[in-house]
Amino acid sequence: MEIKLAKMAGFCMGVRRAVDMALYIAKHKGDEEVYTYGPLIHNPQTIELLKERGIRPVEEIELTGRGTIIIRAHGISPSETQRLREKGIRIIDATCPKVVHVQSIIRRHATENYSILIIGDRDHPEVEGLMGHTFGQGIIIGGLDEVDRLPDMEKVCVVAQTTQSKDEYAKISERIRQRFPGALIFDTICDSTEKRQSEIKKMAGEMDAIIIIGGRNSANTRRLAKISESCGIPTFHIERVDDLKKIDVSGFGKIGISAGASTPNWVIRQIVTAIVRSEE
Ligand code: SF4
């Protein structure tokens, strides 16, 4: 069996930065209570590792005003930041700089009275955070058909969740441009997302099956699996090494492997090693 591992598999810059910050804090925190604001990233193994090192995810409601809280790579809304400040808790902001950039585009245009259209997954923490920066002038668009149901608007600014599908964003942007010819459309899909998605499409043309590794709660991992499936290639989304028992890849000669932006390298290594060993 030939196995090809995608160059872009695993942590993106923003996730690596957030995890490195959390691990550094874990090492130096002493007796201080340290939390992450919700799960730091969408990967269960990383959350388990952080818990072992004394950092656990909490919801705002549980916070008592003591200790330190780390803001996840996806960022949060200004009102959430304000509420945390009022509780007197120390904040360490691990928001990805690229998400900060999208937040600033939104704030600038919301201040100039633009309606802000955010193309993304309604319940995703990044999108919820971005909405908070629209000062109540934001609308989330989850699919092409939602564009037709939009009310008439004079000034329209469009951004995408950083891990959106590039093809989907292009289709939705085009429909928005038809309805609102003067719309300002910003390409805010992260280049690491773009490269990961292009690589999987290329791999799908070369391999017999694709394995995507990553959290089931990770939207970008699920999207990667969906892109692979849409290329018509057998695709298996697995989260951990034990999941290999649930799939049968023995009949495929060439297997491509990629992983979502929140999948740690050690999980990818573990799974690739297990596949190679199963062949020996
Ligand atoms: Fe940042 Fe891009 Fe990773 Fe999102 S996908 S956290 S924007 S580096």
The pLDDT-based confidence of 64 (bands split at 50, 70, 90) is confident
Q: Which atom of ligand 1 is nearest to the CA of 190?
A: 2
Task: Give the ligand 1 atom nearest the CA of 74.
Answer: 6
Q: Whose CA is nearest to atom 2 of ligand 1?
A: 190
pLDDT digits (tens, 9 = 90+) for 162-207: 999 889 999 999 999 999 999 999 999 999 988 999 999 999 999 9
The residue among 143, 178, 173 whose CA lies nearest residue 158 is: 173
Please tell me the predicted confidence (pLDDT) of residue 59.
Answer: 79
Q: Residue with the nearest Cα to atom 4 of ligand 1?
A: 162
Instruction: Please indicate whether residue 218, judged by its CB atom, sits closer than 6 Å to ligand 1.
Output: no
Place 65 in a pLDDT band, splitting at 50, 70 and 90: confident
Q: Which atom of ligand 1 is nearest to the CA of 220?
A: 5
pLDDT(58) > 80: yes
**For ligand 1, is residue 73 a contact (CB within 6 Å)?**
yes
Residue 279 has pLDDT above 80, yes or no: no
Mean pLDDT of the chain: 94
Provide the pLDDT confidence category of residue 60 given band limits of 50, 70 and 90: low
Sign of the torsion angle spanned by Cα atoms 233, 234, 237, 242: negative
Active site residues: 126
pLDDT tens digits, one per residue of 210-261: 999 999 989 899 999 999 999 999 999 999 999 999 999 888 999 999 999 9
pLDDT tens digits, one per residue of 110-138: 999 999 999 999 999 999 999 999 999 99
CA distance linking residue 8 with residue 127, whole number of Å: 24
Instruction: Tell me if 35 sits within 8 A of 56, measured CB to CB.
Output: yes
Nearest to 129 by CA among 227, 265, 14: 14
In contact, 264 and 46? CB cutoff 8 Å? yes
Q: Order of strands, edge to edge, in the sheet holding 138-141? A: 138-141, 115-119, 156-160, 184-185
- Residue burial 14-38, b: 16+ Cβ < 10 Å; e: rest: bbbbbbebbeebbeeeeeebbbbbb
